[in-house]
């Protein structure tokens, strides 16, 4: 039996919370939960054939540009000879490109400058991007799979290189429009208004119009720790991989990431390549505050090299990519 004090406290509590209506935003809940599930699959899904295909859809990570030498293809690094030769990022180039788009006050200048440099480059040959993706989970075996992203928005997946032609021949498109929307948002970000681009990227997972609450968050994105930060980060990760063979997409992603206050940028090298590592702190991951991701890109081309995911000081997942520009017909014919 509760004491009078306890009874009174219970009544007072009920009074305090009376008559305050609340209706959960189911659309936003599903949106966020599905993204979280996707991330779970990335972390766990590299091992186990049954889920690799799903993991591939959300590849977060890392691409390494390696020449294929195949006829009819244009290797990604080779598509940026000017950048390779210079190895620097002229400020004048960055200024000229950034002048056509609004940038938030807190943007990361190295990313903005690199984006400007990349955006000025010609589109590489080929009509698809082949990504050889290798996932390593702590204490488990490494898994390598193949993702093929066509420029018209289709996505093909195979657990083996030799199995990819059959997927293309059968037109087993596993894309559902998400990648196309994310790539479109990134492309828009190259010269468009960054707030608008952020909204497009944040809501790319949905086909419904963005709700008012996320529109409101765009205005406060510099505050950090918002859901939109997480959405933009995750969408940008997807787009960076899907569009890794397209300099416009990479440039747009870098501009978008540059406006996220929870992302830090550090310089380094990976396998002899100059690299930038973009680390998204827990603030970008909503409730998963102890989780963080670090994407490393080539400092000259913006091509993603690798992603490390885990808690600070501990890497649980590493994904690496090898990016190659290809022709779809060559893949179908097994010429790659």
Partner 1 sequence: MMSSPEQEYLEFAGSRAASLHRTAYLLCGDWHLADDLVQETLVQTFRHWRRVQRADNQNAYVKRILINEFNRHWRRYGGLPVSADNDRLEVAVPDISDEVVNRADLLCALLTLPARQRATVVLRYLEGMSERETAAVMRCSEGTVKSQTARALNALEGCLKHKELPL
Question: Smaller CB distance to partner 1: residue 283 or 326?
Answer: 283
CB of 18 to partner 1, least distance (A): 6
As measured in angstroms, the least distance from the Cβ of 66 to partner 1 is 36
**Residue 223 beta carbon to partner 1: minimum distance, rounded to whole angstroms:** 12
Please report, as ranges, the residues that interact with partner 1 according to CB under 8 A: 4-6, 8-10, 12-20, 22-26, 28-30, 32-33, 36-37, 40, 225, 283, 286-287, 289
> HSE (CB half, 13 Å, CA atoms) of 221?
28
Comparison of 153 and 282: residue with beta carbon closer to partner 1 = 282
CB of 237 to partner 1, least distance (A): 19
Residue with token string 């400058």: 113
By C-beta, is 12 or 85 nearer to partner 1?
A: 12
Cα–Cα dist 234/253, whole Å? 11
Query: Which residues pair with residue 326 across a beta bridge?
Result: 128
Q: What is the DSSP string of 124-138?
A: PSSSEEEEEEEEEET
Convert 27-63 into a string of H (helix), E (strand) and C (coil): HHHHHHHHHHHHHHHHHHHCCCHHHHHHHHHCCCCCC
Least distance (Å) between residue 215 CB and partner 1 = 16
- What Cα–Cα distance (Å) separates residue 50 from each residue in 56, 124, 179, 277? 11, 34, 22, 31
Distance separating the N- and C-terminal Cα atoms of the chain: 77
Q: Which residue's CB is nearer to partner 1, number 16 or number 105?
A: 16
Residue 4: CB minimum distance to partner 1, A: 6
- Kind and range of the H or E element at 179? helix 178-191
Q: Which is nearer to partner 1, 27 or 269 (CB)?
A: 27
Nearer to partner 1, 178 or 283 (CB): 283
Residue appearing with tokens 């996932």: 135
């Amino acid at each position: 039996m509760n004491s009078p004090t306890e009874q009174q406290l219970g009544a007072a509590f009920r009074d305090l919370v009376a008559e305050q209506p609340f209706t959960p935003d189911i659309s936003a809940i599903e949106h966020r939960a599905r993204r979280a599930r996707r991330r779970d699959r990335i972390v766990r899904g590299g091992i186990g054939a049954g889920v690799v295909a799903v993991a591939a859809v959300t590849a977060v990570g890392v691409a390494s540009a390696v020449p294929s030498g195949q006829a009819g293809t244009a290797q990604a690094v080779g598509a940026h000879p000017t950048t390779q030769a210079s190895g620097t990022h002229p400020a004048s180039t960055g200024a000229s490109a950034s002048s056509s788009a609004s940038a938030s006050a807190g943007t990361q200048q190295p990313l903005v400058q690199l984006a400007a440099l990349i955006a000025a480059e010609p589109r590489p040959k080929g009509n698809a991007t082949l990504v050889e993706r290798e996932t390593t989970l702590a204490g488990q075996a490494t898994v390598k799979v193949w993702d093929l992203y066509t420029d018209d928005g289709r996505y093909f997946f195979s657990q083996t290189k030799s199995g990819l032609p059959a997927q293309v021949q059968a037109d087993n498109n596993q894309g559902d429009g998400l990648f196309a929307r994310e790539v479109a948002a990134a492309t828009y970000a190259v010269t468009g208004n960054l707030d608008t681009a952020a909204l497009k990227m944040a809501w790319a997972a949905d086909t419904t119009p963005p709700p008012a609450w996320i529109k409101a968050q765009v205005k406060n994105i510099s505050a950090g720790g918002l859901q939109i930060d997480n959405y933009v980060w995750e969408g940008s990760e997807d787009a960076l991989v899907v569009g890794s063979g397209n300099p416009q997409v990479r440039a747009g992603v870098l501009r978008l990431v540059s406006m996220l206050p929870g992302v830090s940028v550090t310089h380094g090298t990976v396998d002899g390549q100059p690299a930038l590592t973009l680390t998204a702190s827990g603030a970008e991951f909503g409730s998963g505050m102890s989780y963080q991701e670090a994407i490393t890109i080539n400092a000259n081309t913006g091509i993603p090299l690798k992603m490390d995911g885990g808690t600070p000081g501990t890497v649980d997942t590493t994904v690496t990519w090898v990016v190659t520009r290809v022709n779809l017909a060559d893949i179908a014919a097994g010429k790659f």
